[in-house]
Amino acid sequence: MITKFYSNKDEIYNTYDKNDLGFVYTPQSTTFKVWAPAASQVLLKLYSTGSYLEEGATVLSINQMVYDKQTGVWSTTIDGDLHGIYYTYVIQNGNKSTETQDVYSKATGVNSARSMVVDLSRTNPQGWENDKHVLVDKQTDAIVWEIHVRDFSSSNTSGVSKQHRGTYLAFTETDTKVPNTNAPTCLSYLKELGITHVQLNPVFDFGSVNEATGVEYNWGYDPVNYNVPEGSYSTDPYHGEVRIKEFKQMVKALHDAGIGVIMDVVYNHMYSGGDSCFEKTVPDYYFRKQGSRYLNSSGCGNVTASEKTMFRKYMIDSLRYWAEEYHIDGFRFDLMGCHDIETMNLIREELDKIDKRILMYGEPWTADNGDNGISGEDCCTKNNAKKLSSRIGMFNDDMRNGLKGGSDDDTKGYIQGSGFDTYKVLAGMMGASSDTFGRWAKQPSQCVTYASAHDNLTLWDKLLKSNWVKDFNTTDSKIIDQNKLSAAFIFMAFGIPFMLAGEEFARTKFGDHNSYKSPDSINSIDWTRTIKYKELVDYYKGLIDIRKKYHQLCEATEDAVNKTYMTYNGKTITGTMANLSGKSDEYKFMAMVVNNNNEKCKFELKSKYELPNRWYVLADHDIASSKAIRVFDNNMEIRPNAILIIVDADSYDKIHDAEETSKIPNYSAGY
């Protein structure tokens, strides 16, 4: 039962709490139900094809639906096996009659003109019954790599077969390589990189790309049907069952590789308000409006009303559907600040009924703070993080900006040598959960730590712009070192590490900071850069391995933060982390030291606990590895513009065999 939140037309309409809206299919009959409490008549039309543009698009039948005034639901049952039959509703609201697809569509024809009845069991790929969620024990164990389906493989450098480039099925190809090399690409590359999850830019049905041609490019933040996979990523957008099966094949391939799948979901607005199936079905209900004007906190002209009973129910039903039918492992919420706190907490509770390890996080802001339609105290923003479940994460844009400066301009952050926002970096390192440096999160599990994402300049392009370098293919060691330093902060911080696909091999979009509809020549992954910038790729791999092996970095609670001691002196940062678990296979102390000055300096590690005198270096400005690369003592000196990640030698020696540790070179005189 969904808790009601009464506002506007919730006070007028009866609502419905069962989970059978849309269609319920059996081989013998299909029952259709649509919530349309303002309608005076609803007709069900059955079609042979999914679009009026197709030849032979005949109307098979027109059927009167029956109204239940207690629930606001219209329903009818049609005998026979309707798998593969398309349908629409003709809804009479006042003097206006409109034909629309089903709000609860599970499949559609090309470009969403009509919904489709589908026997979902027929869309399951081989072995689907044995496919399992890929989940991490704690939210902070996740390492997220954000990718657009088309970007992943559309370039011929991907090594993916031509017919699968830019599609779901590209993820199913194994042992792909950059042509004429042994450099792995796509799924093979991801397995070597070591990430735990891919986050897919919107893969539900969106409106900005013509599925029939697939020529246009778009990120997909313009939903049309939330429960239907996007057709332009399938090999056949005309037959609704094809995209469903191929989507599942993609998920299974990633799961088989040990990689979880996170969906980027955009419940905060639609491609078009007035032309949406929501507005055509129940006018003036699903969107926040003032009179006839749609509110615009989404920046797209039609923010949805998550606080209303039936849209809240819709969001919950939809997310459960993706998690259960498609085995999705997590959800990233676009402009989560548009949604109300109660709804998001209810979503967390509902997903917990499936598995508490399903990830949830989102953008804790809106596109227009002054046009949201609900109280600021009720919005899912950072200011209200403490009102949300500790397992609903939020992107830490403070850390992002502190690290690199403004996302699209030439300002500098800490990694380019500025000391102006060092406090933001320190607070971010503590998972935004430290009273000393400023906090907004309950605990690190609420903090998504990142430097770049699909929007704004890529990290590489930002570094070039802020260093006034115009060569997007430069191998300038200064720029590469700044990229490495960013990665070190992301992976050594408490919270959930997140990166844009290709951040680890200097991905460029040639300075295009808003490439949402730019061509493939701008957006495609150029896999040859994994060869050109192999040093950078290896550094990211090493940091990921360090993070996975030092469990304290992944602690999700405030307790771990309280055992960490961070200091800074000008541009020099030191952080010492203590692990008091007593487990024999875990390091006791780890420290990170960064000297962002132009001169070498001495530093002293500090902690609330007695520190050892001997340390091993796991990472410096050249190499990152979970295996020690040199020995240090506690009287250290660090070179200019350099980084050290070190671990106490005593516990390292206990974990690793004596033959290995005896070969570690000694650089105790300084670095």
**Buried b / exposed e along 452-470 (16+ C-beta atoms within 10 A):** bbbebbbbbbbbbbbbeee
Give me the helices (H) in 382-533, please.
397-404, 422-429, 459-466, 477-492, 520-523, 529-532
94 Cβ partners below 8 Å, 6+ apart? 38, 40, 283
Please, what is the end-to-end C-alpha distance for the chain in angstroms? 63
**Cα angle vertex 619, ends 614, 623, to 5°?**
135
User: Can you tell me whether residue 622 is helix, strand or coil?
Assistant: coil
Cβ pair 85, 32 in contact under 8 A:
no
CA distances from 389 to 116, 280, 328, 385, 399 (A): 37, 34, 20, 8, 21
The answer to whether residue 363 is catalytic is: yes
CA neighbor of 253 nearest in space, from 176, 201, 181 = 176
Asked whether 259 and 198 are in contact (CB, 8 A), the reply is: yes
DSSP, res 305:
-
Identify whether the C-beta of residue 18 lies closer than 8 Å to the C-beta of residue 68: no
Q: What is the CA radius of gyration of the chain?
A: 26
By CB atoms closer than 10 A (0-12, 13-18, 19+), residue 396 is: buried
**Is residue 371 annotated as part of the catalytic site, yes or no?**
no
Residue 513 DSSP label:
S
- If residue 547 lies in a helix (H) or strand (E), which one and from where to where? helix 534-549
Selected catalytic residue, list 102, 205, 363, 620? 363
Active-site entry in 146, 279, 334, 340 = 334
Q: Do residues 458 and 523 touch, judged by C-beta distance below 8 A?
A: no
How far, in Å, CA of 385 to CA of 377, rounded? 11
Annotated catalytic sites, by residue?
A: 334, 363
